[in-house]
Chain A
Amino acid sequence: MSNPPSGAASFVKTSVKQPYIWAIAALVLLLIINLIKDPSYLGISVNAVTGDLSGNLIDILRASAPIMMIAVGMTLVIATRGIDLSVGSVMAVSGAVSMEFMHDAGDGSLGSALMAIALALGISAFLGLINGVLVSIVGLQPFITTLIMMLAGRGLAKVITSGQNTSASNEFFRWIANGTVLGFPVVFVIGAVIVALVALLVRRSALGLMIESIGINPKAARMAGIRPVGLLIFVYILSAVLAGVAGIFSTASVMTVEVAKTGFSSEMDAILAVVIGGTSLAGGKFSLTGSVIGALLIATLDKTIVFLAIPSSATPAFKAIVIVAICLLQSQRVRALFSQRRARTSTPRKEAVSA
């Protein structure tokens, strides 16, 4: 998205060089597999009365919205050389808070829906603040901090709902997941708007550059006068708030929070989307566009597995294979194998593995 739009031809040229071109290829491949299985897979029908679009592609857009949210947050966290393993649990907490609030309010009004959203996002932001403070000020390793938050957050969600799967009824809240705007699902529209806002924020200000500089070389960034504390707290809060939004998305569609299942293993989806999008797990340069494409790919993968009648509980195995393949492609050793020339000109340097 940082490419200057100077003609369609050059845009195509630069796109092909992007690391996420493989993700797009994989996406197309998955769609072709589905198309072979069912030739009418890509059909989109328009409801004549309401103007709503429906079809498998629209379902994929709908399913990709929560993944998109956590993937964007995760992208910024990973860019600072961090990781946020707590996104799935924050989703559960956010869903639990909103469901419990609307269940107690019981009036199904717009006011209680807005209040529930505000509460859910507020508590998510607070959990993100704890992560951020522990990482930046106390100096704990990001993965252990967020691992603890993953553990405690899941427990917190269970305590909030007393271990029960809580349901509530609220038409306005439900509209978020099941409604449509101009024919498109509301979740996807809200998701796209949020992604656009975050992209504007980090790319049209110096924020993105500063986040990248922390990831590329924390010492040099500090010497250049960039204070990491505030930036780190910001990215962890943003990641948690976006996870909160994802939690609202995924609970609103069924109006039930399943404390053990909502957001379970979503952190894997988010990490996967980020890595597919070409952002290195070692931090530094990030690509929000890539992460969004990664999220779309994961949603398509989920749908394809269900469509091909493979048990959906086996999905993690496929995702694991994808992430291993990408990690292998990113590694120095495999790249050296692929391009002998690079191996000859630059001595293969062994990077210290830092968690």
Chain B
Amino acid sequence: MPILEIDHLQKAYGDTHILHDINIAIEPGDFLVLVGPSGCGKSTLLNCIAGLEPITGGTIRIADRDVTGVSPKDRDIAMVFQSYALYPTMSVAKNITFGMQVRGVDKATQERKLAEVARQLQIEQLLNRKPGQLSGGQRQRVAMGRALVRDPALFLFDEPLSNLDAKLRVSMRTEIKKLHQDLNASIVYVTHDQIEAMTLATKIVVMKGGVIQQIGTPAEIYNKPANMFVADFMGSPAMNLIPARVRAEGGQTRIEIDRPGDAPLVITDPVARDLPAEIVLGVRPEDIHEATGNAHLPGTAQGAGGDVLIEIVEPAGADTFAVTHLGGKPVTARLRAESAVQARKPFPLAFDLSKVSYFSPKDGQRLN
């Protein structure tokens, strides 16, 4: 039984369509992340799930109950907001218990649940403070406490970490993940940060322009992006998208890539593929390796690469990034830190063809 089921959801303001035919279902315990660039409709979708925005068409079911026209308070949800939205005149304790107080929960239960949540989030010593006296991270905890104490069917998080500094964001991210594991809670989480999406989610929805681009596990989204937008959006540095030409040759696929100042680079995919003459080759930086003579790296076939002119070398501690130019686009390879690669010199690189994606240059859709 899905805990959340969105069926053919539409959202429009007058003639402006914000969300187009959204279909999503998640199981209890799932951590669903809605990710996309700003203006893609992910926050609007979350507000629709919460009932804070009316929808134009379709249905929303939470815990097997149709909540399409139900007000937010009766949807059995709790929400954490981007600005935390703590009530400024109330103490931390009051902030956390306000929902229970409104719902007429008795004092003893309120006290017990408050103590429970305060211990869980380690904010016991802050209970008598006002939100104005808290740091960003502490406010974040209180906002989560306000949601946790309700024990709802579904948690909604609207970019909860975007107001924190980089270091705190990473540690809070880990805490949210831990919380999810401990409580086995069902969560819908909105972010524009693809790393947050990858690290937290059990299921990712990538959105653009109010349309779902792909739904899948983090691994599916990362390894088999459904189109060039997803390929480009997920992953850092982004996937290399290289325009190329294709020739079928005796049960193999020959791929030609323009190389500045040299003959085109020809690589051979040993698998016969049904590809159009013009394609875009998608390859992640970590799937471009140093070609080391005869010793083939796993997955690399002979003739899957060649010498290319390296333009820039960026050592990043654990890895070294080498940037070259192929098919008229900058291409980044993630190499070992101790690699001998040098700028303005040719260097042998090989593509791991078992992991590449082929896209149609016309509509950007995945071909393999």
Q: Do A and B assemble together?
A: no
